[in-house]
C-alpha cells in the first residue's frame, strides 16, 4: 500500500498523463503520415510506370507508322499502279516489266532499316516479284489473305513468317486509285524482328528502376522481350493490378494495346521499386517516433519536476505551522499558478502574523489605518524596481521569454504611470514603441495566434501627439479582431504621410471577423455617446481616443475613420497634422525636442 501511495503522487500522475498523450499523438500522427505518404509514393510509382508504357507504345506506333506510310507509297506508286492496271485488264505483265516493278519497290526499302524485303502478288495470288512463280497461298496461310482482303487497302499486321521466326509479315491490299479503287493485288512486307526492340524507350530509367518490356502479337507470340528468362503471354498479360512472378522476381505489369495491330506491350517493373519508398518511410517514422518518445519522456520528467518541486517546498513551509511557527516561503516558481499559490500563502502568513501582533499590542484598528496609508504612499518607482528585479532573476534562471515580457511590462508601466505635466505630449515614435511593448506582451500570451508588424516612415516618428493615443486602438484590434477569429490573426500598425497636405496618417488594421454595415453604424453612434457596447468590454478606450482627437484637433482633424467588412477585418484610421498651430503644448514640446 505504501508503494501504491508513492506511485499516486502528482508528479507520477503528470508524467503518466504526458506519456499517454505522447503515445496517442505520435501513434496518430505516424499512422496518418504513413497512410497518406505511402499512397502518394505508390501513386507516384504507378504514374511513372504508366508514363513509361505510354512512351514505349508511342515509339511502337511511330515504328508501325513508318512501315504503314512506306507501304502506302509503294502501293500508290504511279509505275506500279500502271502495270497492275494492265494486269487487271488482261494484259499479263512481261518479265521485263516485273523487273521494273521490283526495282520500283526496292527504291523504298532503304528508307527503313528494319525492312528485309517487299513482295508483290497479283489479284489471283501470282507473285509478280521476286521473279518466280510462287503463289501467295503457298507463302502465307489463307486466313491471313482473308484478313488482308477485309482490311480494304489498310496495312494488316499478321505475325511471324511461317518460314522464318525472326521476320514479321504485314500485307496491304493494293487498290487502283484511278479505277474506282478496285482490287489489283497484294503488297507483302517482311520486317526484321529486331526492328520492334523498344529498349531505348525506357533507357533513361533503366538503371534506376530496372524496368523490362515484352511485345506480343495478336496470336500471343513474343515479338520482343528484354527479360533474362523466357516469359509467355499467359504469365505476363491479363493479370490486372496483381503482381506476377517471372523467374525469381515479382513484377507489376502494365499493359498497352496497339489500336493498329492489336499487339500488346507489357511493361514489367520490380515490386521492390514501387515499395522501396514505403519501406524507407516506415523506418523513418519508427526512428522518429522512438527519438520523439525519448525526448518527450525526458522533457515530461523535467516539466513534472518543475511543477511539483515548488508545491513540495510549500508543503514543507506549511508543516511548520503545526509547531506555532508561521514563516513565509521564500521560494518562487516560473509557473504562474504555483507562484500565485505561494504568493497567497505568503500573504496569509503575513496577515496572520500581523493579526497576532495587533492582538498582542491591542492596536488592530490603528495598524490597519496606518497600513492603508503606507500602501497609498508607495512611490511608483518601487514597482519599476520590483519588475526589474524580476527581470534579472528570470534572466539568471534562463527564462528569457518571461524576462522579456517582464521588461516590456516595466516599460509599459513606466510609460503609463509617469504623470508629470510635461509628459502629456510625446512623439509618434514613443507611441509606436509603447504599442510594440504591448504587442510583445500580447504575443507572449497568445503564442502563435498573434502576428504583428509596425510600418512607420522616419519622417512621421518625430510628429508630436497626445500620449496613449495609439495603444488603445491596438488593444481593440486584438480584443475584437484577432481573438474573435478562428486560427492565427495579424495586426498591422502603420504611420505614413497622408494624402492630405501637411498631415500624416495612423492606421491600425486587423484581419478579424469584421462587421456588417448595421454593426458599423451602431459603433459610430455609440462612440459619439462616449462608450461602445461589446461582449468584451464597454469600448471606453476607442471612445476616449475619438474624444481626445476631436478635443486636440477639433479644427484640423476629423476623428476616427472606421472601415470594416464582414469576414474581411477592420481598419481604424486617423489623420493628424505634422504641426498643430496655436497649441502651446505642441510648441513647447517641439522646442524641447
Cell of 447: 503564442
Q: What pLDDT shows up at residue 593?
A: 45
Residue 536: pLDDT over 60: no
Q: What is the DSSP letter of 244?
A: E
Give the list of residues 6+ apart from residue 537 with CB closer than 8 angstroms, or none.
Answer: 479
Q: What pLDDT shows up at residue 582?
A: 54
- Higher per-residue confidence, 509 vs 157: 509
Cell of 456: 512607420
Domain ranges of the chain: 321-376, 419-577
Cell of 581: 498651430
Could you read off the pLDDT of 158-174 as tens digits, one per residue? 888 888 888 999 998 88
- Mean pLDDT score of the chain: 76
CATH fold for domain 419-577: Heat Shock Protein 90 (3.30.565)
Q: What pLDDT shows up at residue 455?
A: 94
Per DSSP, the three-state class of 183 is strand
Q: pTM value?
A: 0.42
- Higher per-residue confidence, 313 vs 510: 510
In Å, what is the CA distance from 406 to each residue of 387, 402, 433?
6, 6, 16
Distance CA 76, CA 3 (A): 102
Where is 280: in which H helix or E strand?
helix 271-319
Q: What pLDDT shows up at residue 203?
A: 47
For the residues 522-529, what does the mean pLDDT come to?
79
Could you read off the pLDDT of 224-272 as tens digits, one per residue? 777 655 555 555 665 555 567 766 677 777 777 777 777 888 777 776 6
Binning pLDDT at 50, 70 and 90, where does residue 329 land? confident
Least confident of 421-435, 447-461, 497-511: 421-435
Q: What pLDDT shows up at residue 507?
A: 96
Distance CA 237, CA 264 (A): 8
Q: What pLDDT shows up at residue 570?
A: 93
Amino acid at each position: 500500500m505504501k508503494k501504491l501511495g508513492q506511485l499516486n503522487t502528482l508528479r507520477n500522475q503528470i508524467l503518466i498523463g504526458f506519456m499517454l498523450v505522447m503515445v496517442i499523438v505520435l501513434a496518430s500522427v505516424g499512422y496518418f503520415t504513413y497512410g497518406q505518404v505511402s499512397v502518394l509514393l505508390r501513386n507516384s510509382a504507378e504514374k511513372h510506370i504508366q508514363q513509361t508504357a505510354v512512351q514505349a507504345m508511342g515509339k511502337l506506333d511511330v515504328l508501325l507508322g513508318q512501315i504503314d506510310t512506306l507501304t502506302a507509297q509503294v502501293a500508290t506508286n504511279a509505275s506500279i499502279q500502271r502495270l497492275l492496271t494492265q494486269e487487271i485488264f488482261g494484259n499479263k505483265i512481261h518479265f521485263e516489266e516485273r523487273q521494273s516493278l521490283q526495282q520500283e519497290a526496292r527504291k523504298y526499302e532503304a528508307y527503313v532499316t528494319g525492312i528485309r524485303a517487299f513482295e508483290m502478288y497479283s489479284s489471283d495470288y501470282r507473285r509478280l516479284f521476286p521473279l518466280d512463280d510462287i503463289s501467295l497461298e503457298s507463302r502465307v496461310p489463307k486466313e491471313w489473305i482473308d484478313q488482308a482482303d477485309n482490311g480494304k487497302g489498310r496495312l494488316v499486321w499478321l505475325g511471324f513468317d511461317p518460314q522464318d521466326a525472326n521476320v514479321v509479315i504485314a500485307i496491304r491490299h493494293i487498290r487502283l486509285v484511278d479505277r474506282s479503287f478496285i482490287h489489283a493485288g497484294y503488297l507483302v512486307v517482311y520486317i526484321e524482328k529486331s526492328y520492334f526492340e523498344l529498349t531505348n524507350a525506357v533507357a533513361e530509367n533503366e538503371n534506376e528502376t530496372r524496368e523490362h518490356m515484352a511485345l506480343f502479337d495478336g496470336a500471343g507470340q513474343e515479338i520482343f522481350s528484354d527479360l533474362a528468362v523466357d516469359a509467355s503471354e499467359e504469365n505476363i498479360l491479363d493479370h490486372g493490378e496483381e503482381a506476377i512472378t517471372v523467374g525469381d522476381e515479382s513484377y507489376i505489369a502494365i499493359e498497352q494495346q496497339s489500336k493498329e495491330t492489336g499487339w500488346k506491350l507489357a511493361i514489367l517493373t520490380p515490386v521492390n521499386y514501387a515499395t522501396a519508398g514505403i519501406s524507407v518511410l516506415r523506418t523513418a517514422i519508427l526512428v522518429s517516433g522512438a527519438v520523439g518518445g525519448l525526448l518527450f519522456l525526458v522533457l515530461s520528467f523535467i516539466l513534472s519536476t518543475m511543477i511539483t518541486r515548488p508545491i513540495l517546498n510549500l508543503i514543507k513551509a506549511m508543516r511548520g505551522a503545526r509547531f506555532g511557527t508561521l514563516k513565509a516561503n521564500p521560494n518562487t516558481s516560473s509557473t504562474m499558478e504555483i507562484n500565485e499559490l505561494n504568493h497567497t500563502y505568503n500573504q496569509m502568513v503575513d496577515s496572520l502574523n500581523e493579526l497576532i501582533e495587533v492582538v498582542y499590542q491591542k492596536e488592530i484598528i490603528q495598524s490597519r489605518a496606518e497600513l492603508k496609508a503606507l500602501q497609498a504612499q508607495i512611490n511608483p518607482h518601487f514597482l519599476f524596481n520590483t519588475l526589474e528585479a524580476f527581470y534579472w532573476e528570470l534572466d539568471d534562471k534562463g527564462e528569457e521569454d518571461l524576462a522579456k515580457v517582464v521588461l516590456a511590462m516595466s516599460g509599459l508601466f513606466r510609460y503609463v504611470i509617469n504623470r508629470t505635466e510635461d509628459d502629456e505630449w510625446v512623439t509618434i515614435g514613443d507611441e509606436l514603441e509603447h504599442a510594440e511593448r504591448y504587442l510583445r506582451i500580447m504575443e507572449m500570451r497568445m503564442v502563435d495566434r498573434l502576428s504583428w508588424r509596425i510600418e512607420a516612415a522616419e519622417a512621421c516618428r518625430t510628429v508630436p501627439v497626445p500620449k496613449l493615443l495609439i495603444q488603445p486602438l491596438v488593444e481593440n484590434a486584438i480584443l475584437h479582431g484577432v481573438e474573435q477569429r478562428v486560427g492565427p490573426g495579424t495586426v498591422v500598425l502603420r504611420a505614413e504621410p497622408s494624402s492630405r497636405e501637411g498631415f500624416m496618417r495612423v492606421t491600425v488594421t486587423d484581419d478579424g471577423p469584421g462587421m456588417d454595415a448595421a454593426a458599423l453604424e451602431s459603433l459610430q453612434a455609440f462612440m459619439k455617446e462616449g462608450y461602445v457596447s461589446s461582449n468584451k468590454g464597454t469600448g471606453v478606450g476607442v471612445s476616449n481616443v475619438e474624444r481626445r482627437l476631436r478635443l486636440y484637433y477639433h479644427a484640423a482633424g476629423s476623428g476616427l475613420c472606421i472601415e470594416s467588412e464582414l469576414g474581411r477585418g477592420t481598419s481604424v484610421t486617423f489623420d493628424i497634422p505634422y504641426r498643430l498651430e496655436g497649441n502651446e503644448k505642441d510648441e513647447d514640446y517641439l522646442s524641447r525636442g
